[in-house]
Amino acid sequence: MRMYDIIEKKRNGKELTNEEIRYFIDGYTNGEIPDYQVSSLLMTIYFQDMNERERAELTSAMVDSGDKIDLSGITGIKVDKHSTGGVGDTTTLVLAPLVASLGVPVAKMSGRGLGHTGGTIDKLESIPGFHVEITSEEFIQLVNKNKVAVVGQSGNLTPADKKLYSLRDVTATVNSIPLIASSIMSKKIASGADSIVLDVKTGSGAFMQKLDDAKELAEAMVSIGNQVGRNTMAVISDMSQPLGNAVGNALEIKEAIDTLKGNGPDDLTELCLVLGSQMTVLAGKAETTEEARKLLQENIRNGKAFSQFKTFIESQGGDTTVADQPEMLPQADYKIALPAKKTGTIAEITANDVGTAAMMLGAGRATKESVIDLAAGIVLHKKIGDNVTEGEPLLTIHTNSTDIEDVKEKLYKSITISDTPVESPTLIYGTVTE
Ligand code: URA
Ligand code: CA
């Protein structure tokens, strides 16, 4: 087999065989096939696309390029959730204890990563004592005992994806549905879950800004998951404005606690119920999403979801008094309100700009070496469709520095106030099951 022939075949719009796909992934991972040939193939895939079988094989080959996490020691159907990313997305912190309270095993591997705020692990580490330095044996024992645990990423997962992603980044081939779908799904599948719920975001703050593109990506990922034997569903949800009210690390922990107690923001609560219902059905703990939703709502009402959160925090060394007294979480020195400059209705809160503002306050990492300020962030008091009077606070900035004129300017630019009524955006655009 020759890489040249594979490139030529795809260039001419033909399907690649499974053997050809394996040949290129294996050869690229072990360094036998050079970047220039792979760049060329990536560009032909960008223009010629791949069919469903090719996409599934590409994903499986990437999974097989590295380590696979073995969760077989955990009793029950392990369901994982993945979001394509957004601003202030507090869902994992709510969903993990919420669905675990119904007996769904949640074995969460998470990262720190770069971004507007820290990752799930950084957020959890704003709870004094909480740590993720546990062995894989302890991790599995904890999930069996408490139904939920979080561990840092370890092992050499999907090295083919790491190499391909860096190459796509510099060859204008990131934005290709077969390449994005296989990249995301390979990492989820290598992480060992039996079933996967995907939250594909759309809107100005999302990776896929247009609804049609988000749908196409969701369908591609669901098809891959189901072809490789993992029950997969997707929800398409709005990211035209930040989700919930809080954007920050400790601030999002507080928001998650509020939501688990039934006092969270409407949009965050609703998205968690929609995603949680799908996870519950996939785990076999309910027949329908309607039934699952009732069970989840019941566990918020009766305090079981909140008590599951405390058990989870305590089992990983965290101080559970923060659950009842969130003021014990890291607090910023200054809480500065941003007053509205005019009266009207909120028409726009561009998620990316709010995210960038949070990052400028220190809530996120710009480089791997950056140190996160766990207390810093933003709490919105208004969302799209809300009325506001001149002088009323639009949001509160939580900061340890008073030198924040550029942050204020960024936030003012991100918010548009209209003189005419504006409807709040649709939160859930649909679900994809096959
Ligand atoms: N996220 C990923 O993990 N991979 C992509 O290709 C795009 C976004
Ligand atoms: Ca939030």
Q: Within 13 Å and on the Cβ side, how many CA atoms surround 335?
A: 11
Distances (CA, A) of 188 to 213, 268, 352, 412, 413: 21, 23, 25, 38, 36
User: Which ligand 1 atom lies nearest to the CA of residue 165?
Assistant: 6
Listed as ranges, residues in the chain with pLDDT below 50 are: none
Quick one: which ligand is closest to 220's CA? 1
Whose C-alpha lies nearest to ligand 1, atom 6?
A: 180
Tell me, in angstroms, the distance from the centre of ligand 1 to residue 188's CA. 11
Can you spell out the DSSP letters for 260-273?
A: HTT-S-HHHHHHHH
What is the per-residue pLDDT for 280? 97
What is the per-residue pLDDT for 370? 87
Tell me, in angstroms, the distance from the centre of ligand 2 to residue 125's CA. 17
Tell me, in angstroms, the distance from the centre of ligand 2 to residue 310's CA. 20
Q: Is 134 left (phi over 0), alpha (psi -120 to 50) or beta?
A: beta
Pocket test for ligand 1, best of 165, 179, 216 (most atoms within 8 A of CB): 165
User: Which ligand 1 atom lies nearest to the CA of residue 184?
Assistant: 3
Whose C-alpha lies nearest to ligand 1, atom 3?
A: 184
Q: Within 13 Å and on the Cβ side, how many CA atoms surround 150?
A: 28
Catalytic residues: 82, 161, 168, 183, 187
CB distance 105 to 75 below 8 Å: yes
> Ligand 1 pocket by C-beta < 6 Å: which residues?
165, 179-180, 183-184, 207
What is the per-residue pLDDT for 434? 77
CB distance 49 to 178 below 8 Å: yes
User: Which ligand 1 atom lies nearest to the CA of residue 187?
Assistant: 3
What is the per-residue pLDDT for 164? 97
**pLDDT 10s digits, 174-212:** 999 999 999 999 999 999 999 999 999 999 889 899 999
Outline where 191-303 has alpha helix (H).
211-227, 250-260, 266-282, 289-301
Tell me, in angstroms, the distance from the centre of ligand 2 to residue 243's CA. 5
Tell me, in angstroms, the distance from the centre of ligand 1 to residue 344's CA. 38
Give which of 42, 109, 106, 115 is closest to 74, Cα–Cα: 106
Quick one: which ligand is closest to 168's CA? 1
Whose C-alpha lies nearest to ligand 1, atom 1?
A: 184
pTM: 0.95
Quick one: which ligand is closest to 180's CA? 1
CB distance 96 to 305 below 8 Å: no
User: Which ligand 1 atom lies nearest to the CA of residue 174?
Assistant: 6
CB distance 233 to 275 below 8 Å: no
